[in-house]
């Protein structure tokens, strides 16, 4: 089968492209914006990339067009496909029909932590010689790719609540029909498609309704929103983590200790590379999900000791003149606060310079702009790129006073940071996009 993917460079559609190639299909694709790491992975897989959405691509005559959810009505290639009555399908639907059917799917859902928890879970299964397939919205360092077909029935997938495609406004995860599912947390997000938290809770309950009685829900005990979802009706056993009287993980960021506790006390421990309470919660969820497919807690902890995190999750990009630059995917205020807190626990009293690009659809709408100052309360200085925003970032960050700097130009922002940075500082760059290559620009400017 020849498939042509519209929006191929998104992490999800790019992952589908890699799975399709491995499964023996011919894959081509197009997109408007191409940046690593996905572009590198696609080219490495021998996939032909076309810049833009010119209708000349119809001449490829694929068997089916896969439409990414970033593609909307008015896109010239999509309009031509509709006008000519050509076969098309959403990415999640194609994935469900051609890759996931008949497999034991382990889905990881939640507002935050999906990528890291999915990566942990896939690695625990891999370390236990279970050779899982996976599709993750990032690149786990233990694997070096975001998607793999796998050679056993087990398949780990990041189960996103964002909508499926222009023609299907259900959440993506409705298509996956997992047997094991992690519900990490649930907050309001995606203000461009959801009116409020209750609307997202409804989608999560749609997911719960698809789970078999022989499956397992691993749910965060500390989330009232998830309890409301489960109270709507649940036909599947539930195990909870972050439970003070049950399963939880504690630890020490200074020593790298990770300790798993259960209803009867400590179960086991290991030393690992990650830090922060959010990552310990992710680890507990992954350990419980892995146990459902037969991996003991002991083996799971041993695997986590060898877990190398995910690209763009507190990824060290370089150190110049004793100034350290990190890259992180955080873009929701809760994720920003959690990421900053983890770094603060790690570096103690050293200065943290946060560099933020409010790039997600929710952030561009300004829905959560009032939460930004509090999310940055533990940083010493905050730098915000305000290009293409429909709201006043300077006004939003005004409560931070002189601790905040806002610029409309990335190069000017880099200049401001380089002027203020001093040896011993930690520069934390947060964006869910390429951010104009700011990481390399910063390192080059600091070196100069």
First to last CA, the chain: 51
| Whether residue 87 sits in one domain with residue 135 | no
Q: Is residue 32 part of a domain?
A: yes
Instruction: Tell me the CATH number at 31.
Output: 3.40.50.720
Q: Where a domain ends, among 304, 338, 364?
A: 304
Q: Is the pLDDT of residue 191 over 80?
A: no
- In this structure, the answer to whether residues 159 and 86 fall within a common structural domain is no
Tell me the angle at which helices 277-292 and 297-304 cross, rounded to the nearest 10 degrees.
Answer: 140
Same domain? For 292 and 384 the reply is no
pLDDT at 243: 94
Asked if 337 contacts 374 with a C-beta cutoff of 8 angstroms, the reply is: yes
What is the predicted pLDDT for the residue at 217? 98
Rounded mean pLDDT, 87-98: 97
Residue 446 has pLDDT above 80, yes or no: yes
Q: Is the whole-model pTM more than 0.75?
A: yes
Q: Which two tokens stand for residue 352?
A: 């943290």
Establish if 309 belongs to a structural domain.
no
Domain of 177: which CATH number? 3.40.1190.10
How high is the mean pLDDT of the chain? 93
Overall average pLDDT of the 323-352 stretch: 90
Pseudo-torsion of CA 154, 158, 160, 165, nearest 10°?
Answer: -70
Minimal CA–CA distance to 98: which of 64, 130, 132? 64
- The last residue of one of the domains, among 74, 93, 112, is 93
- Which residue in the block uniquely carries the two structure tokens 């859902």? 109
Percent of the chain with pLDDT over 70: 99
Domain assignment of residue 370, given as a range = 315-447
**356 within a domain of the structure (yes/no):** yes
Q: What's the mean pLDDT in 385-394?
A: 87
Instruction: Flag whether 43 is in a domain.
Output: yes
Flag whether 147 is in a domain.
yes
Q: Which residue has the higher pLDDT, 300 or 12?
A: 300
d(CA 300, CA 183): 19
pLDDT tens-digit series, residues 1-53: 999 999 999 889 999 999 999 999 999 999 997 666 677 778 888 899 999 99
Question: Whose CA is closest to 434, among 318, 345, 317?
Answer: 317
pLDDT of residue 139: 87
Q: Which residue has the higher pLDDT, 118 or 37?
A: 118
Same domain, 34 and 157: no
- Residues 64, 177 within the same domain: no
pLDDT at 35: 66
- 149-173 tens-digit pLDDT: 999 999 999 999 989 999 999 999 9
Does 419 map to a domain? yes
Q: 295 and 372 in one domain? A: no
Asked, for residue 262, whether it belongs to a domain, the answer is: yes
- 265 with 161, same domain? yes
Most confident of 93-102, 273-282, 327-336: 93-102
Last residue of a domain, one of 59, 93, 127: 93
Q: Residues 330, 411: one domain? A: yes
Residue 284 has pLDDT above 90, yes or no: yes
Residues of the chain above pLDDT 90, percent: 76
The domain total for the chain is: 3
Do 234 and 157 fall into the same domain?
A: yes
Residue 383: give its domain's CATH number. Answer: 3.90.190.20
Same structural domain, 244 and 300: yes
How many other C-beta atoms are found inside a 10 Å radius of the C-beta of residue 52? Answer: 11
Dump pLDDT digits (tens) for 64-87: 999 999 999 999 999 999 999 999
Same domain, 339 and 390: yes
266 part of a folded domain: yes
Is a pLDDT exceeding 70 seen at residue 388? yes
Judge if 87 and 108 occupy the same domain: no
């Amino acid at each position: 089968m020849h498939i042509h993917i519209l929006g191929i460079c998104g992490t999800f559609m790019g992952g589908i492209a890699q799975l399709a190639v491995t499964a023996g299909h011919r894959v081509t694709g197009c997109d408007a914006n191409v940046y690593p790491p996905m572009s590198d992975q696609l080219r490495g897989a021998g996939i032909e990339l076309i810049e833009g959405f010119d209708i000349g691509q119809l001449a490829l005559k694929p068997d089916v067009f896969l439409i990414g959810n970033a593609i909307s009505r008015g896109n010239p290639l999509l309009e031509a496909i509709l006008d000519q009555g050509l076969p098309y399908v959403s990415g999640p639907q194609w994935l469900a029909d051609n890759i996931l059917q008949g497999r034991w799917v382990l889905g990881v859902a939640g507002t935050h932590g999906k990528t890291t928890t999915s990566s942990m879970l896939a690695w625990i299964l891999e370390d236990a010689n279970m050779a899982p397939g996976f599709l993750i919205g990032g690149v786990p360092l233990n694997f070096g790719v975001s998607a793999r077909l796998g050679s056993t029935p087990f398949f780990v997938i990041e189960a996103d609540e964002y909508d499926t495609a222009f023609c299907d406004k259900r959440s993506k995860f409705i298509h996956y029909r997992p047997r094991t599912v992690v519900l990490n947390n649930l907050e309001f997000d995606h203000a461009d498609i959801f009116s409020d938290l209750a609307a997202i809770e409804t989608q999560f309950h749609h997911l719960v309704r698809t789970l078999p009685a022989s499956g397992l829900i691993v749910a965060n005990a500390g989330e009232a929103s998830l309890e409301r979802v489960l109270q709507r009706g649940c036909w599947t056993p539930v195990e909870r983590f972050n439970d003070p009287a049950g399963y939880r993980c504690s630890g020490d960021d200074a020593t790298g200790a990770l300790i798993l506790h259960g209803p009867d006390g400590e179960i086991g421990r290991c030393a690992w590379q990650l830090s922060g309470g959010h990552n310990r919660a992710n680890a507990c969820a992954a350990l419980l999900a892995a146990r459902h497919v037969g991996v003991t807690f002991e083996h799971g902890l041993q695997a986590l000791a060898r877990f190398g995190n995910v690209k763009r999750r507190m990824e060290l990009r370089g150190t110049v003149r004793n100034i350290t630059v990190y890259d992180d995917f955080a873009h929701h205020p809760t994720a920003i606060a959690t990421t900053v807190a983890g770094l603060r626990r790690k570096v103690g009293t050293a200065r943290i310079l946060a560099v933020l690009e409010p790039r997600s659809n929710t952030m561009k709408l300004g829905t959560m702009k009032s939460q930004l100052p509090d999310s940055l309360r533990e940083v010493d200085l905050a730098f915000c790129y305000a290009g293409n925003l429909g709201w006043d970032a300077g006004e939003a960050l005004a409560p931070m006073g002189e601790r905040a700097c806002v610029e409309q130009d990335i190069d000017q922002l880099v200049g401001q940071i380089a002027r203020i940075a001093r040896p011993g500082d930690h520069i934390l760059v947060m964006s869910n996009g390429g951010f104009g290559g700011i990481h390399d620009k910063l390192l080059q400017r600091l070196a100069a």
